[in-house]
Amino acid sequence: MAKGHWSFLHEWVIYDYLLARADEGTLRLKQVIVSGTLAGKPKWIKVEEIKPITGTAFPDIQAIQLKGKGLFRSAEVKFTSSLFSYHQSAQYTRKFADFVKQNGFLIVASHDYLPKGLIDKYPELDVYEIEIEDFISFCRENFTRLLNRQIKAHASTRVWLMYQGPNFNEGSNQIQPARQSRIWCPTENLTGFDLAVGDRILFYKTSGLDRIKLQNAFLKKRVIDPRWTLREICVAEVKSKIFSRTEYLQRKKKSLTSQLWKNDPCPNNRWRWGRVFEFSIVKVIKTHRPMTDLFQSDLSKHFVLKAWEAFCFGKSRELALEYYRSLLEEIA
């Protein structure tokens, strides 16, 4: 594939694709060059883990682990193999030597050819292709978000519903609840494309019913159980982009082993929540309204439906601006 076919894109689109699919656990790469030799039968290899991509300095990926390939390695991302020319630049002599020493490899959208002299000098180089059809689908599905990323802003403010949960209100002697620390972890269905500085979040709290009973009642009878009650909406504004946990702690000059939320630890001695964003509280609305009553109102019906989804399935949900305004008219 000619280089010009990719001229309308930036390499960060591939970065976002790699990180998004890695978060989903579906990222795989096809090895097309094995130690400098074209693979006879290219194999798809699952990516076990990829560390956050924090910049464009060579190499792009500091640590990536492929299934069955041992330890973490570094990797450079290019649209085509022919664009990989660091071995020819005196500016990158030391960095390229380190890259080779770390068993670094190349990730491309499409392999065309390796630059002259590369394999002669570095015969151990491996090249992997991304799943191009999946990448194209990713770009199509996320066109608006990719465009927002390109211009570094949303076209308009977006509103998200997030259930408060224990970490929002509970802390310990050393750990502040999110209500005080003003940091939260987005659910896995949100990326940096979705959540931007200036967006609004409705952290809401309910009582009266657990998610299983609530889910069953609605799915079987299409009714909102009258015991489900709205207790609070904490209206917040997003103050930062989504950071990886490591990047956030580095920016705050904190130990990388710092606990961020009370229910953070996992049994395997790893942190449960791997991403962080900052927010400020705009206002808090205390109430005691049965959700079934709000569901019967045209002003708040859409809020109840989205709140039901977020509560029952543990995912953030977007609420259209018009429904956000009508909700405030109903309960504020």
Q: Which fold has domain 154-331?
A: ph1033 like fold (3.10.590)
Mean pLDDT of the chain: 84
Q: How far is CA 222 from CA 2, 237, 294, in A?
A: 54, 33, 15
Nearest-Å Rg of the Cα atoms of the chain is 24
The better pLDDT of the pair 193, 240 is held by 240
Q: How does strand 105-110 pair with strand 127-129?
A: parallel
pLDDT score for 1: 36
**Average pLDDT for residues 147-156, to the nearest whole number?**
54
Q: pLDDT per residue over 115-133, tens digit each? A: 777 777 777 889 999 999 9
The better pLDDT of the pair 268, 256 is held by 256
pLDDT score for 10: 60
**Average pLDDT for residues 251-274, to the nearest whole number?**
84
Cis? peptide before 59, omega within 30° of 0: yes
- Hey, where are the domains in the chain? 3-141, 154-331
> 187 pLDDT exceeds 60?
yes
pLDDT score for 44: 93
Six-digit token string for 204: 């809401």
Which residues in 51-152 belong to E strands, given as ranges?
Answer: 61-66, 73-80, 105-110, 127-129
pLDDT score for 185: 93
> 41 pLDDT exceeds 70?
yes
Task: State pTM to two decimals.
Answer: 0.56
